[in-house]
Structure 1
Amino acid sequence: MASPNALTFKVTRQNPELIPPAKPTPHEFKPLSDIDDQEGLRFQLPLIQFFRKNPAMDGEDPVKVIRDAVAKALVFYYPFAGRLREMAGRKLVVECTGEGVLFIEAEADVRLQQFGDAPQPPFPCMEELLYDVPGSGGILNCPLLLMQVTRLKCGGLIFALRYNHTMSDAFGLFRFIFTVAELARGAKIPSVLPVWQRHLLNARDPPRVSYAHHEYDNIPDTNKTLIPLDDMVQRSIFFGPAEISALRSRLSPHLRRCTTFELLAACIWRCRTIALSLDPDEEVRILCFVNGRGLFNPPLPAGYYGNAVATPVAISTAGNLCKQPLDFALELVMKAKSEVTEEYIKSAADLMVMRGRPHFTVLRSYIVSDLTRVAVEDLDFGWGPALYAGPAEAGSGVVPGLLSFHIPFKNNKGESGKLVPIWLPANAMEVFVKEVEKMVKRDDDDIDLGDAQKSSIFIASARL
């Protein structure tokens, strides 16, 4: 069988249609929070889910099932059927117009098996699996969701969507998708009702910034060290139990209590910095998206589907990060994450209002988001759990190439672990792969990341 990344196929699409809520919904204006509408979240993020054929669903059309469930879900999540407007002070407000979300019906002359035993980013022909409807990709005055359901020759299906990140973080967006799945399976109402309440993450009056928030530093690019985007390669790396254990064995005993997210973030930040061959005296940063839902007292409501994230930053010179052992990077990541509290998030909201909703710092930065607690593997529209559910690519964002995700994943050996898509210049990617190989290699190992027979790590790649 050809490599999944060399796969080509034909997709036949129906004309895009707008799916409005199944019942009338209020026409009103609902402001986003001051965390939602920061510049760094004003982008569209593509997601994709693969589902096998389910003989129990023979005779059911997945397009109709999901289309109808989306319409029903929009009755509860009716702001998604509206459009964003920008008001004074760059404040974003949803006009709940009930116009609906964009929906595309499609068929592909390909079988799910041709995507490989364990589909992973980058996906072949992604532009066919999620058609970019002309004029739909803006932030303002555009549909807030774009969906495509593609039937496959084998009876499986692919559900892809793109959403406006200002409306929701990953937890909030998947709460909506889980609702669609519940309704598709016959539920009458969501098991968790949505909660708007964006005022809970608004700036205080008067605003008071109580942290330094170096994640929003304005740094001039005097050395022209933004990543060039003309020869980029995307790869996905799987970290299974053996690789995670090998990384932990490199740590000092007092650091082995770290989370897997912290461990992998530190490892990849270090290897990525080595691969980019930066001036040793230049500052490099890692920004970690941290879910703040449980940090509030009381916690945010279970149905809150807005952005409830902070982006604490760890900073080092490139030289120190590359020369010091993994302990050094890990301690920086752990310290940055530990700073996030309810007050930290409120302080960030205050900063947004006082400084015009700035973008977080992107110069020599690496940004990482943990999706392993979103339970995407439980997503089921009636065809069974998703074979893959998560971001369609690495590098999404206002500034391409900086953002990676940690995605729950089961490889083709049945091992559960974390999948991390990476986007880098082609020459840097080669160095990065070798550095990761060294980090996950024990003294008695013979690991080659390019050979799935030798290691549970495997890499899919594509030039972008």
Structure 2
Amino acid sequence: FHLHQPRFNFAWQRIIIEFQATELECGGLVVACTFDHRVADAYSANMFLVSWAEIAQFKLPSQMPSFRRSHVGPRRPGRYHSSIDSTYVPVSALPPPKDHCSGSGYYQPISRIYYVEANQLNQLQSIASSVSGARINNSGVRFKRSKLEALSAFLWKLVAGYQKDMGDNKVCKMGIVVDGRARLSEGDGKAKAKLIAEYFGNVLSIPFGEMRSEVLDGKDMSSVADAVHEFLESALTKEHFLGLIDWVEAHRPEPMLAKIYATGIDEGPAVVVSSGARFPVEKVDFGWGGPIFGSYHFPWGGEAGPTQSPGEMAGLRESYFNSIIVVSEMDAKGDFSVKVSKKEVVAATLPLQEHWLPLSNLDLLLPPLDVGVFFCYKKPAGGHHPTTTFGSMAGILKEALAQALVSYYAFAGEVVENAVGEPELLCNNRGVDFMEAVADVKLRDLNLYNPDESIEGKLVPKKKKGVFSIQATGLKCGGLVVACTFDHRVADAYSANMFLVSWAEIAQFKLPSQMPSFRRSLVGPRRPGRYHSSIDRTYVPVSALPPPKDHCSGSVAGYQKDMGDNKVCKMGIVVDGRARLSEGDGKAKPKLIAEYFGNVLSIPFGEMRSEALDGKELSSVADAVHQFLESALTKEHFLGLIDWVEAHRPEPMLAKIYATGIDEGPAVVVSSGARFPVEKVDFGWGGPIFGSYHFPWGGEAGYVMPMPSPMGNGDWVVYMHMLKGQLEFVERHASHVFRPLTSDYLQF
């Protein structure tokens, strides 16, 4: 293996390793080493570095090196596959090197160190592993590409995109360094594996793939990841490494090189990726604490490298990141822990007489769904209350909650079935589950762009009993997240907003600005009832629905036309009927309806085949949206909907768009959060710096809620819960409109 490493004419050619210890002005220290790659690979160097640090701490080295060359000796007779000739080359077979202009231009090799966020790596891996026939085995199991394969595919496409932008259709090469230790011990038992694991030297191969830039640039990420996997897989065998050893033996004493290392600039760009996943930074502790950072620095002299100059690549890098993967300002996806420190049930302060409150006809249109909402607060700098510790803030929340539940007693009850199987609200002052928790994350490190990882199951509580549950979570920075989950059958967002504002006002010793009304007569049916036939197209009895089908998660893309699928696409918009139901009834009725607590919603929708929709101008599509929306903006529509429910009781009913199955085509529901009163949910230590609804509602239709940005500049924050393929399509084609929500944008 050492014989196919390049030979350099360094001044220190006869010295294997050198060190430099540098004291910094701040009292810190940098320890650096340079070693001859012909003698050791990174695995071997890592062994040495860890042993050196262990000895400095008077410990026995955890691993001793072995220099037994017989572990990597040639076979007699030798044999190798012809693919080795495609991967390695005798130096004499190389063309003479060309003299390229030095300076600051295209040909100047430079080094940069970047970081790639964990959530971006996960997204890259997800895109690289997306479903296609090439990654499904005979059992129907989908292969998942590794993060290294995904990153390599991304870089390969990035370099190809640059070549294409330069009007150059040269061959682009991508290589990956493979350590052969595990491969050479395959099938030889544990003893051989241990010996090979201790082997000090080079046990590397660099398989590579090549493709012209235009072809490569035109492929999607998953196809490029397949190509990476294909050339990488060729080297992941014992026979490959044994054959490579025999190939070197057959060509000695001729100097040899990995062909990708010897690639000249004129042939096209080449990149080699070498995994440092096992780089043991934390173990190189000489007794004064482990390093706070460590890295390899390897300007290796070949014309293949990890990237082009940022000066040439910057524009491409930005545009490509925007089209392939979302850039978000996160420390590490949702990778933090939350510990619940206290659980209790908070009931109304005043005793309430137990009674039944029937759900209205409009409530009965909702399946058992839980809605989440959360608010983020900075560390208090003072405020109305004398103490602003987490414990005192939790106490304020609970005390105000107990008082708010006197008026909002529906949230302190339970939903149970009546004699005919319909849900009803038992107002028994059962109370609200209230949890106190701590999270080892700072507010600015919350990945709000991906609430499935950072919010769901961590900061927004799972409601187990009752109608309403709350979690107050103290953050590492002293900030606070207050999150609630409520039963949608009992309240819509308008009603929940009323409660949240009243709760905050009570916490500040203010009288609530609005009191709830539970008068079901405000949304009662007419006698006799009547409704327009359009209601039958918008809502449906559950018994009329086809049985649900079992779909593999993540297997359906929302971009129907790109998938060659001309299915019907549905778009619905949630309409609040309060203003409509009070039309023409004088001043008193609007006030009563404005105070009504419950569901007063309808979801009209439009539908169109994907090809027809894709071919229309945006203004024409907006006209179609206005047309179906307008049908529900009347008093008669809501009165008719109430009467329609009455005619079908006690049969469970649903909005037809919610019940849309994947096989019927994609569906999305938009619910306006324009009146989401974030700034009013101030419990005395300052208003939230961010708030959002979180509603992974369980239907196969997507759910989207635009809300005012807390920046107050007219921007919108848009919550989206959609099929994975749909969101990936949105991020590829509309990243200039829908930008990832980041801590920097929110000025956390």
Q: TM-score, normalised by structure 1?
A: 0.76
Q: Cα 1:131–1:450, aligned 2, differ >3 Å: closer, same or farther?
A: closer
Q: Cα 1:42–1:207, aligned 2, differ >3 Å: closer, same or farther?
A: farther
Shift of 1:124: 1.2
**Residue 702 of structure 2: aligned partner:** 402
Shift of 1:152: 1.8
**Residue 101 of structure 1: aligned partner:** 432
Q: Cα 1:195–1:217, aligned 2, differ >3 Å: closer, same or farther?
A: closer
**Residue 626 of structure 2: aligned partner:** 334
Aligned residue for 1:397, secondary structure, equals coil
Instruction: Letter of the 2:469 partner, please give it.
Output: L
Shift of 1:147: 0.5
Inter-partner Cα distance in structure 2 for 1:407 and 1:273: 25
**Residue 132 of structure 1: aligned partner:** 462
**Residue 391 of structure 1: aligned partner:** 693
Shift of 1:275: 6.7
Inter-partner Cα distance in structure 2 for 1:451 and 1:63: 28
Shift of 1:449: 5.2
Alignment match of 1:279 (pick from 565, 570, 577): 565
Inter-partner Cα distance in structure 2 for 1:418 and 1:278: 32
Most deviating of 295-304 and 345-354: 295-304
Inter-partner Cα distance in structure 2 for 1:91 and 1:276: 43
Corresponding position: 1:66 with 2:397: yes
**Residue 420 of structure 1: aligned partner:** 718
Deviations 1:232-276 (A, max 9, x none): 89xxxxxxxxxxxxxxxxxxxxxxxxxxxxxxxxxxxxx955577
**Residue 640 of structure 2: aligned partner:** 347
Inter-partner Cα distance in structure 2 for 1:5 and 1:206: 60
**Residue 202 of structure 1: aligned partner:** 524
Inter-partner Cα distance in structure 2 for 1:211 and 1:31: 27
Corresponding position: 1:215 with 2:538: yes
8 A contact 1:129–1:148 mirrored in 2: yes
Corresponding position: 1:177 with 2:472: no
More strand by share: 1
Q: Cα 1:31–1:4, aligned 2, differ >3 Å: closer, same or farther?
A: farther
Inter-partner Cα distance in structure 1 for 2:671 and 2:569: 18
Shift of 1:381: 1.2
8 A contact 1:36–1:166 mirrored in 2: yes
Shift of 1:314: 1.3
Aligned residue for 1:305, secondary structure, equals coil
8 A contact 2:434–2:470 mirrored in 1: yes
Q: Cα 1:328–1:4, aligned 2, differ >3 Å: closer, same or farther?
A: farther
1:287-306 counterparts in 2 under 5 A? 287-297=572-582, 298-299=589-590, 300-306=592-598
Q: Cα 1:93–1:192, aligned 2, differ >3 Å: closer, same or farther?
A: same
1:307-456 counterparts in 2 under 5 A? 307-340=599-632, 341-355=634-648, 356-361=651-656, 362-363=659-660, 364=665, 365-393=667-695, 396-400=696-700, 402-410=702-710, 415-437=713-735
Inter-partner Cα distance in structure 1 for 2:604 and 2:680: 29
1:90-169 counterparts in 2 under 5 A? 90-115=421-446, 121-122=451-452, 124=454, 126-132=456-462, 136=464, 142-169=465-492
Gaps of 5+ in 2: 1-114, 118-329, 583-588
Q: Cα 1:217–1:401, aligned 2, differ >3 Å: closer, same or farther?
A: closer
Inter-partner Cα distance in structure 1 for 2:555 and 2:396: 38
8 A contact 1:121–1:421 mirrored in 2: no
**Residue 245 of structure 1: aligned partner:** none
Shift of 1:288: 0.9
Inter-partner Cα distance in structure 2 for 1:345 and 1:397: 23
Inter-partner Cα distance in structure 1 for 2:740 and 2:704: 20
Shift of 1:122: 4.5
Inter-partner Cα distance in structure 1 for 2:508 and 2:450: 26
Gaps of 5+ in 1: 137-141, 234-270, 441-447, 458-464
**Residue 377 of structure 2: aligned partner:** 51
Query: Quick one: percent identity of the two aligned structures?
Result: 23
Inter-partner Cα distance in structure 1 for 2:561 and 2:401: 43
From the CA coordinates, give the structure whose radius of gyration is larger. Answer: 2
Most deviating of 90-99 and 42-51: 90-99
Q: Cα 1:4–1:408, aligned 2, differ >3 Å: closer, same or farther?
A: farther
Aligned residue for 2:372, secondary structure, equals strand
Inter-partner Cα distance in structure 2 for 1:151 and 1:272: 38
Instruction: Letter of the 1:132 partner, please give it.
Output: K
Inter-partner Cα distance in structure 1 for 2:334 and 2:449: 12
Q: TM-score, normalised by structure 2?
A: 0.48
**Residue 250 of structure 1: aligned partner:** none
Shift of 1:339: 1.6
Deviations 1:137-181 (A, max 9, x none): xxxxx3100110111232211001110001111010110111110
Instruction: Letter of the 2:340 partner, please give it.
Output: R
Q: Cα 1:54–1:397, aligned 2, differ >3 Å: closer, same or farther?
A: same
Instruction: Letter of the 1:99 partner, please give it.
Output: R
**Residue 251 of structure 1: aligned partner:** none
Inter-partner Cα distance in structure 2 for 1:388 and 1:171: 18
Inter-partner Cα distance in structure 2 for 1:419 and 1:230: 27
Aligned residue for 1:332, secondary structure, equals helix
Shift of 1:367: 1.1
Deviations 1:62-119 (A, max 9, x none): 1101011111000111121111122245433211111101110112222212227x77
Instruction: Letter of the 2:642 partner, please give it.
Output: A
**Residue 337 of structure 2: aligned partner:** 10
Inter-partner Cα distance in structure 2 for 1:304 and 1:4: 43
Matched positions, count: 394
